[in-house]
Structure 1
Amino acid sequence: MQQSVKFSNRAWEVAADLYLPDNLDKTKKHTAIICVHPGSSVKEQTAGLYAAKLSKEGFIAIAFDASFQGESGGMPRYLEDPVTRVEDIRCAVDYLTTVDFVGSERIGVLGICAGGGYAANAALTERRIKAVVSVSPTNIGRAYRENSTIATLEAVGRQRTAEANGAAALITPWTPASAAAARQAGLTDADLLEAIDYYRTSRGEHPNANNQLRFTSISSIMAFDAFHLAEYLLTQPLLVIVGDRVGSFGAYRDGFELYNKAASKDKSIHTVKGAGHYDLYDQPAATTEAVGKIVPFLQKALSAE
């Protein structure tokens, strides 16, 4: 069962889908999992897929649109702000503590791609999160630092000056609109082409995932390190899921960095053989294997005992 809900972040509302198990006994306290979507994504895509799978396994799950994106409020639109993305997760925890049938000591977080980095980062200081699952995690700041330059930051500064003086906001695409457009531009990276296959085709596209990024977001993204202080502050049980078909987006590397760096005593990493970054978004074999590891991990980590 799925229902639309909203919760507040600062002065705006965040739109979410709450997934409830069939035959839920609302007189009891249950485990709840916050599912955090990747950059450029919305709640109806891979975060919603994992939320639906978890609800079938008896968990309450919530997937939400990041602030400034999808059906959520907040201005300016199409902003990818890591600090606010992390605050969205904290606000989702706030919301779950108001749900009568959720156990406030039994809340976990699961994030995919950049959402996996945001999920881990939130858990550093949000002690109400009692368990962390990071699927194909990407430290978005690391990714942008490796693929952008000081010249990009100079361009962001010029654009901010232009907008402050009345120019229209510069909105750029997260990915080329099609594989053909990517190849025509000389972009043949496998992870990029698979991103296009997921987001820009019938495989995973959604009208609210409109491939729009506010260009000035890049400065905040580049300054962000999702795993900063994890060796001191990330002590909750941790499960990392990666595919072993390594791509340029760096999820395999980031997954092992998160695993190795975390202070968690209860931590594990599982490699899905033959899976690439985007296989763990929606492909049945890869996601079934991932959920097969996630469910017992969460059951143990968030047990009522």
Structure 2
Amino acid sequence: MFGKKLLLGVILGITVIGGSAMAKIPEIKQVKDTSIKLVQEWDKIFPESNKVEHTKVMFKNRYGITLVGDLYVPKNIGNQKLAAIAISGPFGAVKEQSSGLYAQTLAERGFVTLAFDGSYTGESGGYPRNVPSPEINTEDFSAAVDFLGTQSFVDRDKIGILGICGWGGFALNAAISDTRIKAVATSTMYDITRTAAKGYNDSVDANARYNMKKQINEARWKAVENNYADLLPANNLRKEQFTEETPQFVKEYSDYYTTKRGYHPRAVNSNPNGSWTTTGMLALINMPILQYASEMRTPTLIVAGENAHSRYMSEDAYKALGNKNKELYIVKGAVHTDLYDRLDKIPFDKFESFFKANLK
């Protein structure tokens, strides 16, 4: 009899302990997509924090594409409704890299955060793979807001977004479009549509742009036979492929994406066979974002490295924004990729104070 009571007590104890652990993150509203097989073990490039609870989630955007994200929730949340931040980027990266680092760190500071893979990349759905889209990637941010705003532990009136690198431009574009976004921040921002159409420092003229479009459109004859899944030649970020003419910023990208520092096999920029679809740049060239920047009303923080090759895009975006509540913050001595993962460079105190001031 004693043995049975002891056994029952152990079972009840496990149930209570398990129930208590499960209660740390309240029930999550999400979609189920059996076509997506998620990696469940910790596979980030940064250590797991013991200050937050983490779980993978799925949600759809308005195009019906299933997005996969990592949800980070401060421990012992109880019955609170917290402010939340959706985070994505850099362009060609996955949530196991920079965006996850940002998300986990900001969750440690009291926010519910969601780092997600954009459509057609990482663990998210969408076919063909590796398709960039200014419209769909802007929508992905709004879909992340939809997801966060339907959770019982999130105050839907206190949701912000943060975009890194190319997703910084998409984040600004989303905040101009989506009035539910209460604050937007960017880190080491790119306007990827600008660089696609005009090259770095706007060095590509109309004739060169026409020839680019002509080349891409000619590639469609072959791509259509393969459901537009044809990919460009694999990326050339490997240092063994560098020449004397290789720009310094390309070497910096390589140092992040292709080494132990930042490599992740699902990232387009890390995978040695990774590249974008042959027709994917057409929309980036022809459909520029930030056309209504002068109408921005959302509080904005733009962070850029002092020595970043992309600094001019952050400065130009800051000048173009029409809202009065905006700030350009320059990180001394930082290059573009320093703000991907260098904890001594990323101004997390600045991000925290900005979001706390504007998500209230």
Supply the distance in 2 between the matched residues of 1:47 and 1:17 (Cα, whole angstroms). 10
Q: Deviations over 1:217-269 (max 9, x none)?
A: 1111112323211111x11110010111032xxx2111111111112221111
Give the 5 Å matches for 1:158-177.
158-165=218-225, 169-172=229-232, 175-177=235-237
Matched with 2:34 is none
What stretches of structure 2 of length at least 5 have no aligned partner? 1-52
Matched with 1:195 is 253
Q: Secondary structure at the match of 2:319?
A: helix
TM-score normalised over the length of structure 2 = 0.78
Matched, 1:239 2:301: yes
Supply the distance in 2 between the matched residues of 1:166 and 1:245 (Cα, whole angstroms). 42
Q: Deviations over 1:42-98 (max 9, x none)?
A: 111101110011001001110111111111111111101111101111111111111
Quick check: 2:228–2:277 contact (8 Å CA) kept in 1? no
Give the 5 Å matches for 1:86-101.
86-101=138-153
Matched, 1:220 2:272: no
AA partner of residue 218 (structure 2) = R
Quick check: 2:187–2:304 contact (8 Å CA) kept in 1? yes
Matched, 1:155 2:199: no
Matched with 2:72 is 19
Supply the distance in 1 between the matched residues of 2:94 and 2:76 (Cα, whole angstroms). 27
Q: 1:5 to 1:92 in 2, by over 3 A?
A: same
Q: Secondary structure at the match of 1:162?
A: helix
Q: 1:177 to 1:39 in 2, by over 3 A?
A: same
Q: Secondary structure at the match of 1:284?
A: coil
Q: Which runs of 4+ in 1 moved over 4 A?
A: 165-168
Matched with 2:351 is 294
Q: 1:110 to 1:166 in 2, by over 3 A?
A: closer
Quick check: 2:69–2:95 contact (8 Å CA) kept in 1? yes
Matched, 1:230 2:293: yes
TM-score normalised over the length of structure 1 = 0.92
Alpha-carbon deviation of 1:169? 3.8
Q: Deviations over 1:174-227 (max 9, x none)?
A: 7414122132xx542111111111111111011111332112111111123232
Supply the distance in 2 between the matched residues of 1:121 and 1:85 (Cα, whole angstroms). 10
Matched with 1:281 is 340
Quick check: 2:90–2:164 contact (8 Å CA) kept in 1? yes
Matched with 1:68 is 120
Quick check: 1:40–1:174 contact (8 Å CA) kept in 2? no
Matched with 1:79 is 131
Aligned length: 294
- Structure having the higher strand fraction is 1
Give the 5 Å matches for 1:134-153.
134-147=186-199, 149-153=209-213
Quick check: 1:175–1:196 contact (8 Å CA) kept in 2? no
Supply the distance in 2 between the matched residues of 1:223 and 1:111 (Cα, whole angstroms). 22
Q: Deviations over 1:5-33 (max 9, x none)?
A: 000122231010001112222x1211000
Quick check: 2:119–2:137 contact (8 Å CA) kept in 1? yes
Supply the distance in 2 between the matched residues of 1:198 and 1:76 (Cα, whole angstroms). 26
Supply the distance in 1 between the matched residues of 2:233 and 2:110 (Cα, whole angstroms). 38
Which of these residues, 156, 176, 186, is aligned with residue 124 of structure 1? 176
Q: 1:174 to 1:118 in 2, by over 3 A?
A: farther
Q: Secondary structure at the match of 1:213?
A: coil
Q: 1:298 to 1:167 in 2, by over 3 A?
A: closer
Quick check: 1:137–1:242 contact (8 Å CA) kept in 2? yes
AA partner of residue 244 (structure 1) = E
The sequence identity of aligned pairs, in percent, is 33
AA partner of residue 139 (structure 2) = E
Q: 1:246 to 1:38 in 2, by over 3 A?
A: closer
Q: Secondary structure at the match of 1:32?
A: strand
Q: Secondary structure at the match of 1:69?
A: coil
